[in-house]
């Protein structure tokens, strides 16, 4: 049955660190806005304290998380056990995007391997931790990380990634600005 905590318990820290994938959920305030659920992989998630987490966010086709956090700060992370004992863990909180060069970037970036193509770091203060049974989650075997993202970023190059982000990552699908929009306005 579900258990609720005010902070991430040690047993759940081990569970989080063992997962190869997690999901990020955010939503705009508007009723007609699109809710975003985004799968994340590779070694990009860090627990900074029992009530603070961060992940290295890679360049992608959209930037919904940044737009929603800029608007309302709400964020949920979900981890599912795809092997071993069944478990689902959700972390609820408020977050923000941190761009290279901003205050806190250097301290946060030092906690990650900065894969080529990174875009920002999402950092969140966790206010609720909830587990649930996970009985309905199927069993899967981890085969490996995909290499398409790294190859795509390398083919684009740094200048190509900057241009791509300016074209695709400054507004959400609902037209909300992202933190990157402020950078694009200055250029």
User: CATH number of the domain that 155 lies in?
Assistant: 2.30.110.10
Q: Check if the beta carbon of residue 134 is closer than 8 Å to that of residue 80.
A: yes
Q: Which residue range is the domain that position 67 belongs to?
A: 3-180
Has residue 185 been placed in a domain?
Answer: no
How many distinct structural domains can be found in the chain?
A: 1
Q: In the structure encoding, which two tokens stand for residue 109, read together?
A: 């970036």
pTM recorded for the entire structure: 0.95
In a domain, 147, yes or no: yes
Question: How far apart, in Å, are the Cα atoms of 101 and each of 14, 22, 108, 140, 180?
Answer: 32, 27, 11, 39, 12
Decide if 187 is inside a domain. no
**Residue 186 domain-assigned?**
no
Instruction: Express each pLDDT in 78-121 by its tens digit.
Output: 999 999 999 999 999 999 999 999 999 999 999 999 999 999 99
**Within a domain: residue 39?**
yes
pLDDT at 3 over 50: yes
């Amino acid at each position: 049955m579900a258990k609720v905590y005010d902070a991430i318990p040690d047993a759940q820290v081990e569970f989080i660190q063992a997962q190869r994938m997690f999901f990020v959920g955010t939503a705009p305030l508007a009723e007609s806005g699109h809710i975003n659920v985004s799968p994340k992989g590779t070694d990009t998630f860090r627990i900074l304290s029992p009530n603070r987490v961060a992940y290295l966010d890679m360049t992608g086709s959209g930037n919904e998380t940044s737009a929603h956090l800029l608007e309302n700060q709400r964020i949920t992370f979900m981890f599912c056990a795809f092997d071993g004992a069944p478990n689902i863990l959700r972390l609820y909180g408020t977050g923000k995007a941190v761009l290279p060069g901003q205050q806190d970037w250097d301290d946060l970036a030092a906690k990650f391997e900065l894969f080529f193509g990174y875009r920002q770091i999402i950092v969140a203060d966790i206010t609720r931790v909830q587990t649930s049974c996970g009985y309905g989650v199927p069993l899967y075997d981890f085969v490996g990380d995909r290499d398409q993202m790294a190859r795509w970023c390398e083919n684009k190059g740094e200048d190509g990634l900057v241009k791509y982000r300016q074209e695709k990552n400054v507004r959400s699908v609902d037209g909300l600005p992202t933190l990157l929009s402020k950078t694009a306005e200055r250029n």
